[in-house]
Amino acid sequence: MFPYGCRCSQRGGIDIQVWRSGAARYSECMTTTPPLRVLLTGASGEVGTALRHGLHGTFDLILTDLNPPADLQAHETYRQADLQDPEQVRAAMAGAQAVIHLGGIANEHRYDRIRAVNIDGTQHVLQAAHEHGVTRVAFASSIHTVGYYPRSEQVSPDMPVRPDTFYGVSKVAGEALGRMYWERHGLEFVSVRICSFLQRPEYERNLSTWLSPRDAVQLFRQAITAPRVGYLTVAGISGNTRAWMTRDGWDTLGYVPEDDAETYLQAVQGRTQGAQGSRTESNQGGVFTEPDYVGLAATEPRS
């Protein structure tokens, strides 16, 4: 198989005796073809910043967000866009061949805000991608699509969703929109259920949920380059020994994580965020599963 976006498989008369697997094969291919032009939404956020730096040289990135990255470089292309405005999203999409969609509100909020930015915004991205002939979208979903599963149960992508917040509902909606655009328009869609993106684990729960920056870079790179994925949902975690999510779909992407949160066991063991037996410490979604958790809605007055 050839990496997604590689034109080698479409060229006639090429005698290729040996194709190596994994990153070496991808690197060899991409030295002979122009890099994919990838729109990165939410480029100014924490995950976006890690991907900007980690994917530099692999993809020709178009960066978009409400505000430019603070460390925007001269070689980078930035296009301001509000996900709530479909025309701005269409303009940002121009020339893109694939999309990594990270943009949105990354916490709980009032439903009207979540709907406008995360649900409608994702539809705007997918519609613009379809109209511009994009063929692959990698979507930042979340553990909060399944947050009410107990920590004692290992969750696979084919199990029923159990969203814990309006934020979680918005990610379920994003996955459903992705499914529709795949079935209806043939727009391939990889949903990455990010759990805890951190430089290093901070609490005991992160022994199960940690996604390291370098593994995030690899995972989203593979979500864009793996051939013929159709529609796929995978766990967005490192290779954690105590993972609450299964590794289903990682083989399809060719994702082989380098990190395991177990390395930090001594540093985080016993560090909890709630009382023993609380929803925070019993459910996979943590504090998001508490009935009184409102996230950003607590700090933003109703307009």
Q: Please confirm, yes or no, whether 149 is among the known catalytic residues.
A: no
Containing 62, the helix (H) or strand (E) segment is: strand 60-65
Buried b or exposed e, range 136-166, using 16+ CB within 10 angstroms: bbbbbbbbbbbbbbebeeebebeeebbbbbb
CA atoms within 13 A on the CB side of 286: 19
Catalytic residue among 149, 167, 203, 255: 167
The pair phi, psi for residue 65, each rounded to 5°, is: -175, 175
31 Cβ contact list (under 8 Å, min separation 6)? none
At residue 136's C-alpha, the angle toward residues 154 and 259, to 5°, is 40
List all residues 6 or more positions away from 87 whose beta carbon is below 8 Å from its beta carbon.
Answer: none
Total residues belonging to the chain: 303
In single-letter form, the type of residue at position 226 comes to: A
CB 157 within 8 A of CB 234: yes
Q: How far apart are the first and last CA of the chain?
A: 53
**Catalytic (active-site) positions:** 167
